[in-house]
A = this chain, B = another copy of it.
């Protein structure tokens, strides 16, 4: 049950409309908590009903459709409560590792191309993160909030680095495997 809290965080960082939130989920928050616009609108409705957020009063109420939301004190309190509460890590689910294990049994036919594709995706993601790091965390800035956000970004960078390296190793392993394994 974290989507509402992801949204509260995003709205505290900056009040936004549904679509703006969607975009920010695509670029930033979504790197570790992805959501579609449908999910977001649904959740905005619930959060408003619960009195955690409210639509910003707009000057021309009827003209443009764009509704921006801001967090109310109750919402901030709920987010603080949730952040501090102890939570168990959610179970991992990784299809690629599963497929690799399956391929030890049914043969490696066909999986190699997809490993390459994933390697490429992870490389791109890594490049994107490094771009963000360069832009948002130049050496020297160290306000506490920056340090926390940087820490989060570094987790992303290091995870992508790991996958990139691991996939490279895996592909090397494939090069040495007798053709198409058991099956």
A interface with B by C-beta (< 8 Å): 2, 5-6, 8-9, 12-13, 29-34, 76, 79-80, 82-87, 89-111, 113-114, 117-118, 121, 144-145, 147-149, 151-152, 154-156, 158-159, 162, 166, 169-170, 173, 177-178, 181-183
> Min CB distance, A142 to chain B, in Å?
9
Q: How many copies of this chain does one complex carry?
A: 2
Cβ-defined contact, B92 with A80, below 8 A: no
Docked CA distance A86–B4 (Å): 32
Cβ-defined contact, B144 with A98, below 8 A: no
Judged by DSSP, the binding face of A is helix
Docked CA distance A71–B127 (Å): 43
> Min CB distance, A50 to chain B, in Å?
17
Q: Residues of B contacting A31 with CB < 8 Å?
A: 92
Docked CA distance A100–B149 (Å): 8
22 contacts between A and B (CB under 8 A): A2-B98, A8-B102, A9-B102, A33-B94, A34-B92, A34-B93, A76-B106, A79-B105, A83-B107, A84-B114, A86-B117, A87-B96, A89-B96, A89-B118, A97-B156, A101-B148, A104-B145, A104-B149, A144-B182, A147-B173, A148-B173, A159-B162
